[in-house]
Amino acid sequence: MKNKIQEKFRTLFGEEGRFFASAGRINLIGEHTDYNGGYVFPGAIDKGIMAEIALNGTDRVKVFSLDYDEFVEFGLREEDKPIQQWARYIFGVCRETIKRGGKVGGFNAVFAGDVPLGAGLSSSAAIESCFAFALNELNGNAINKFELAKIGQSTEHNYCGVNCGIMDQFASVFGKKGCLIRLDCKTLEYKYFPFDPEAAGYRLVLIDSCVKHELASSAYNDRRASCEAAAAAIRARHPEVEFLSDAKRVWLEEVRSEITEEDFLRAEYVIGEVQRVLDVCDALERNDYETAGEMMYQTHFGMSRLYEVSCEELDFLNRIARKMDVSGSRVMGGGFGGCTINLVKKELCQPFIESAVELFTTRFGHAPKIYNVVISDGARELE
Ligand code: ADP
Ligand code: MG
């Protein structure tokens, strides 16, 4: 990828720039916890975006996307927003940097990537954090890493119409090889935990169901409302409960008759999920991947039966994993489609993948996609 970028950069601009990269991400556990003030547990992956960039001394940005084989040029004022979606991520990062008092000079860039688009691995965060990091370095701004992540998040909000949380950009900026990062979504405190499944004889395998059911956004709003209703009922007795994640399981029991059964089940999932993140972190500190994997199954059960955001395709993949003694498996992301994330013993990888592809294809009429991922570095400059 680097050679192709370099070749194109030289052809277009007749010079050489500096190389930057960033990554997509996975989330091992901690789903639907972010808006409840709980924990998420993401890491950057070995699939990302790479860019060669050089300031050009003008107030124009000239970018070539190798993957779209398309050249776009734009200015740096609000009214210069490009029409191409991919270019809006870069434009948004420029604008959000400027809004934070950062300097952004015009630049030339060529970039490419290998994060599958829209598979739940956050290819958009990879672009944002790559350019946010690069512009910070090239322009000599001293914007801190958290703010770089927020530049990406605000880009999604203000230039791409996606009202996302901070996790994807956070993971993409802060990601570190061999580590997952537990982020407290309430305080934004974070802590790195060792995660090196390869060394312990495991692999992380994603199976992309390649479906996205339409329910997703209305169901998302319903789930949030349920969580807020449960939190409000608990708060009436325990004023310290700001978010649902602050509540103890027994406190939820106390208000059972005051909320709907549905709200109760949703809250039961969330409170359990917050605890599971902590349990997985403990397990990883002991190098205990089997316990971590078992927690992933519990999360899947909760997402499927209590929170009800799974779907037939994902439950099917989860059952195959269980039947084949895969160590851990669950739906990753908001639900209603996308990938399952699987923690698989090395020797089981090939038979598991073969069976999953065959059985899934027979059942649903299209093949799932397989991605092997390794936890890797996030935003950085390359040598
Ligand atoms: P994801 O879940 O992967 O973040 P999004 O829809 O948020 O899905 O982002 C995908 C968009 O990001 C693409 O439509 C494209 O505009 C941009 N994008 C991602 N990867 C690349 C790439 N390699 N080159 C150009 N644009 C990309
Ligand atoms: Mg995205």
The model's pLDDT over 191-217, given as tens digits with 9 standing for 90+, comes to 999 999 999 999 999 999 999 887 777
- 55-83 average pLDDT score: 97
The one catalytic residue in 34, 168, 208, 377 is 168
- Which pLDDT does position 109 carry in this prediction? 98
Ligand number, closest to the Cα atom of 26: 1
| DSSP E strand stretches across the chain | 18-27, 39-40, 42-55, 60-65, 70-75, 107-113, 179-184, 190-194, 202-212, 328-331, 337-345, 369-373, 380-381
Q: For residue 155, what is the enclosing H or E element? A: helix 145-159
Ligand number, closest to the Cα atom of 121: 1
Pocket test for ligand 1, best of 86, 153, 156 (most atoms within 8 A of CB): 86
Q: Does the active-site annotation cover 168?
A: yes
Question: Would the pLDDT of 41 be above 80?
Answer: yes
* Closest Cα to atom 4 of ligand 1: 122
Q: What is the pLDDT of residues 137-155, one digit of tens each?
A: 999 999 999 999 999 999 9
Q: Quick one: what percent of the chain has pLDDT higher than 90? A: 94
Query: Which residues line ligand 1 at a C-beta cut-off of 6 Å?
Result: 65, 67-68, 85-86, 112-113, 115, 117-118, 120-124, 127
Centre of ligand 1 to C-alpha 368, Å, is 20
* DSSP structure class, residue 117: T
Residue with token string 């434009």? 91
Q: Is residue 110 classed exposed, middle or buried when 0-12, 13-18 and 19+ CB atoms within 10 A define those classes?
A: buried
Q: For residue 86, what is the enclosing H or E element? A: helix 85-99
Centre of ligand 1 to C-alpha 128, Å, is 10
Both tokens of 140, joined, read: 């000599």
Both tokens of 372, joined, read: 């092997």
Q: Is-contact 345 202, C-beta < 8 A?
A: yes
The closest of 48, 52, 37 to 3, measured between CA atoms, is 52
Residue with token string 């039961």? 268
Index of the ligand 1 atom closest to the CA of residue 115: 20
Residues with Cβ within 8 Å of residue 124, at least 6 apart in sequence? 89, 156, 160, 162, 168
Q: Quick one: what percent of the chain has pLDDT higher than 70? A: 100
Question: Would the pLDDT of 218 be above 90?
Answer: no
CB neighbours (10 Å) of residue 41?
A: 26
Its pTM stands at 0.95
Q: Give residue 163's pLDDT band: very low, low, confident or very high (50, 70, 90).
A: confident
Index of the ligand 1 atom closest to the CA of residue 67: 24
What's the whole-number average pLDDT of the chain?
Answer: 96
Centre of ligand 2 to C-alpha 121, Å, is 8
